[in-house]
Structure 1
Amino acid sequence: MDLSIVIAMYNVKDYLSNCLDSLINQDLNENEYEVLIINDGSTDGSAEIARKYAREYPQIKVFDQEN
């Protein structure tokens, strides 16, 4: 793993897909980087979006914690 990208997430439903799409569309192979999303207790549906991406892209991992 060459690069770890950490995203702190709290109620960013309106922006999360654009952020993750931007990362996925970089000129990197999926085995060269990982995206770690730290869900800080989102209540707006952000967590569901993050988990959807994590199911589709193995380089994305979601960690949930309480706010």
Structure 2
Amino acid sequence: MAGICVGHTATRLPVELVWSRECATRIEALTFERRIKGWSRAKKEALIKGDWEEVSRLARNRSGK
């Protein structure tokens, strides 16, 4: 969609999809989206790279473990 729909990304073009995940239900997808939105930029970048070890390390650091 080339900015046709009104929304957050309509004024932030171009937009590139860098990561996705299939979810069984809309609720599951929205829950996961909310969780990711709370992550640090570094943790999101590790997710995009598929570096699950780094995602895990960053999660431990944030929780103080």
Considering the TM-score relative to the shorter chain, is it more than 0.5? no
Q: TM-score, normalised by structure 2?
A: 0.30
Higher helix share: 2
Give the structure with the larger strand fraction.
1
Larger radius of gyration: 2
